[in-house]
Amino acid sequence: MISLLALLVAVTAGSCGKKGGVEITESEAEIMFDTLSHDFGVLPHDTTVVYEFLFHNIGATPLHLSGVSTSCGCTTADYPEGSIEPGESAALTVHYSTGRRKGRFNKSVRVYSNAKTGFVRLKVTGEVAD
């Protein structure tokens, strides 16, 4: 009981602590992605590919994703609604549709939240074969 109380006081004070295996480093909500980019490699025409970006709330208060914006209509993203509690993890899923395009692509997804950083930019890249 005392160690649990000590951890709660440390997290509330903004000190480092662990919860759910994720390091709590901030006194407010904070988002940390495992990676900020993904390369799909070479893709065929008329296909849709999907990648899940894993993220964590490393802050001390609940994290709420408020929306995403993408650099074009060929890229969409699904994100969890509701709270991601301190120490919890979730995934944001990015879909890219090649259509009839060919050549290299570099698309971005802005993720908006109540985190201290405000928004995070994710990138998906690749090449559509001739």
Asked if pLDDT for residue 62 goes beyond 50, the answer is yes
pLDDT over 70 percentage in the chain? 80
The confidence band for 5, taking pLDDT boundaries of 50, 70 and 90, is: very low
The pLDDT of residue 10 is 40
Q: What are the strands of the beta sheet with 31-33, ordered from one edge?
A: 31-33, 48-57, 89-97, 75-78
| pLDDT, tens digit (0-9, with 9 covering 90-100), for 17-56 | 555 556 666 579 999 999 999 999 999 999 999 999 999 9
Q: Would you state the pLDDT for residue 121?
A: 98
pLDDT at position 100 is 84
Average pLDDT, stretch 49-73?
A: 96
Residues with Cβ < 8 Å from 60, sequence gap 6 or more? Answer: 11, 12, 14, 24, 26, 27, 28, 29, 86
Please give the model's pTM, rounded to 2 decimal places: 0.80
CB half-sphere exposure, 72, CA atoms < 13 A: 11
- Asked whether the beta carbons of 42 and 129 are under 8 A apart, the reply is yes
Distance CA 111, CA 113 (A): 7
